[in-house]
Structure 1
Amino acid sequence: MKLYLVLFAVILLFSNNVNAQKENIQKEALLVGVFHFNNPGADLAKTETFDVMSKKSQQELELITDHIKKFRPTKIFVEWEYDNQPALDTLYNRYLKGTYFSYVQDKFPGNTFYAQNEIFQLVFRAGKKAGLEKIYAIDYPMDWPYDSLQIAIQKAGQTGLQQEIDKQIKEFGEQTNALMKKLTLTQLLLEENKTSTRNFNLGFYITLLNKGGALHDFTGADVVNAWYKRNLYMYSLIQKLSEEKNERIMIIAGSGHVAVFKQFIAIDRNYKAVELSDILKN
């Protein structure tokens, strides 16, 4: 009994020390999960493209990035392939010089990605206002064996599971499209970063995909593993590139990625999470 009490006291002391360290951390990470402003249609849920080029959306982007400037980010990380950093540097340097949009219009005629994507509309704008000379790429694309999962589900006779997966994907797309019709850009971004939205996103992987396949077939777990592995690689890049003390980093990526990053930060003793809703209140 005495040994049990001693162990409990040690665990409690360690937990309190960790929590105290967490509270004293000066390195802050502003998390901004986004929907893709220029929708490539690559996600499972098919959603419409929101008009970020409208006058109202442009005004909101100016206001949002004004608030980000007050946060004073020292580094900004984005969902761009990490081994293609030189291309991102070229584009951002053009943006800083004021020649970006004419440059991409001539170089990529008819390609709306370079005009509308969140990296160029939100991140570049925020980076320039914050006086940053560089934006950091952290994406690490990997094969995601979702097609193999569907085959495994079919072989296992998991008809009900497949129906529920299809149903949730469809409903998510319909709900997102409905919100895009009635909410402003700022409201949509706040919605993307709600705890309930993040938990629903993460729950889809664990509740449904993870159990796909027959008893000794772990294709479902492999799919979930591939998703977490990609995000672990991305987070590893963030950690390696933000080593200075008292740094205020900003991470802008698809809301699914940011939902996972929030989990990582909750147990990473080097960071304290800051939400978009926090800085918009100031």
Structure 2
Amino acid sequence: MHKKYFHKYWYVLILFWLALPGLALAQKASIKTADKRLETIFEDDKPKPRVLLLGVFHFAGEQVDANTTPANLRVDMLSAERQKQIEHLVHQLAAFKPTKIVIEDSPRRQHYYDSLYNAFKAGKLPAGKAAWPADETIQLAFRLAKLMNHETLYPADAQAFRFKLSHQDSILTFEKYKDQGDSSYTYWDKAYEAEKAYEDSLNFHLPLNEYLRYLNSPQRQAKAIGRWLVTTKRGSNTEPIGADGFVTRYFNRNVRIYSNIQRIVTSKHDRILVIYGATHMYLLKQLFEASPEFIVEDVMKYLN
């Protein structure tokens, strides 16, 4: 290369290198401006319903999930120590100032829960299986609703539409591939069994708020949906029954839950506390955060 052009070449490179920080700053400024513009378009600076998503375990334990936890690790949520922890959590959640509390049951049982809640407020909760005293709805949702002077709670659960599909579309096709071999199924089943055993131990030994911080961590919530994603490879390229099962069961159910919660909004100032099984929270959080209708609060600041 001619000496004159060689010097010119390096001169241009040096100028470009010197300009890089400025270009990076300009790019950051451009992205920041674009983000601000989006916030303006979607009116993120104006009041919107706020949502607090609290993932929980079943407080009633073996009454709900029979034979899933070793006897020596079963938590008694009615013990004096656990009752103190629940009371503390209720007051922590009260700081969110919820206007509506969503619980994990069918909207068809609204009348039942209204009756049960009224009995709870009057100190006349019925005995027996119809109302497990340790259930998280009673211990947590009812207590908080009473403290906040709420008149009702909002069941928002849903069944996936897979159970209404024809046999050809669901059961028979799934049966066709039920014995499909893949060593990863056994491998990951063992991993999730180990996770369950670990969580039983954590739940037994940790205070309630600390265990709930674990259940509501992004990493743990992502792992929960991972069990479903292992099975999406079932089937074939022409009959992807695993993917269809994920969409028509897990994904569909959670979108339906989300839509039920959408319908309880009556004001842009609503503050909605959703108390649900922790395995639902990964997808519910994605839906609420993607929606232009809601602002999602960080649950961790209420779990101290």
Shorter-chain TM-score bucket reads 0.7 to 0.9
User: How does 1:102-181 map onto structure 2 within 5 Å?
Assistant: 104-105=126-127, 108=128, 111=129, 114-142=132-160, 151=175, 153-158=177-182, 160-181=183-204
Q: 1:188/1:147 Cα in 2 relative to 1: closer, same or farther (>3 Å)? A: farther
Confirm or deny that 1:17 pairs with 2:40.
Answer: no
- Out of 211, 214, 236, the residue aligned to residue 214 of structure 1 is 236
The superposition leaves residues 154-183 of structure 1 with CA deviations (integer Å, 9 ceiling, x where unpaired) of 44322x132134213312211111212321
Alpha-carbon distance in 2 for matches of 1:223, 1:45: 26
Bigger shift: residues 215-224 or 188-197: 215-224
Structure 1 residues 22 and 161 mapped into 2: Cα distance closer, same or farther (>3 Å)? farther
Q: In structure 1, which of residues 266, 269, 281 is the aligned counterpart of residue 289 of structure 2? A: 266
Question: C-alpha distance in 2, partners of 1:269/1:193?
Answer: 23
1:33 to 30, 55, 64: 55
Structure 2 equivalent of residue 80 of structure 1: 105
Change (3 A) 1:149 1:92: farther
Distance 1:113 1:179, change over 3 A: farther
Q: How far 1:40 moved relative to its partner?
A: 5.2
Q: TM-score, normalising length from structure 2?
A: 0.77
What percentage of residue pairs aligned between the two structures are identical? 24
Partner of 2:258 in structure 1? 235
Conserved? CA contact 2:213–2:303, under 8 Å: no
1:279 is displaced (CA, Å) by 2.4
Q: Would you say the 8 A contact 2:102–2:154 is kept in 1?
A: yes
Counterpart AA for 1:128: K
Q: Aligned-pair RMSD on alpha carbons? A: 3.0
Q: Looking at CA atoms only, which structure, 1 or 2, has the larger radius of gyration?
A: 2
Q: Which amino acid aligns with 1:234?
A: I
Tell me how far apart the structure 2 counterparts of residues 245 and 89 of structure 1 sit (CA, whole Å).
25
Contact 2:50 2:271 survives alignment (8 Å): yes
Structure-2 separation of matches of 1:179 and 1:149:
39
1:84-142 CA deviation, whole Å, 9 max, x = no partner?
11101110111122222xxx21xx2xx38621110011100011111111000101134
From 183, 190, 198, the equivalent of 2:213 is: 190
- Between 148-157 and 53-62, the greater mean CA deviation after superposition: 148-157
Task: Give the distance between the partners of 2:302 and 2:258, measured in 1 at CA.
Answer: 22
Contact 1:149 1:219 in 2 (8 A): yes
Whole-angstrom CA distance in 2 between matches of 1:147 and 1:47: 30
Alignment partners' CA distance in 1, 2:176 and 2:67: 21
Taking the TM superposition and a 5 Å limit, the aligned residue runs for 1:41-56 are 46-47=68-69, 49-56=74-81
Aligned partner of 1:59: which letter?
A: K
Q: 2: CA distance between counterparts of 1:149 and 1:187? A: 43
24 and 121 in structure 1: CA distance in 2 versus 1, 3 angstrom threshold = same
TM-score, structure 1 length as denominator?
A: 0.83
Superposed CA offset, 1:205-255 (max 9, x none): 22x021122332222112211111111111111001113111111000000
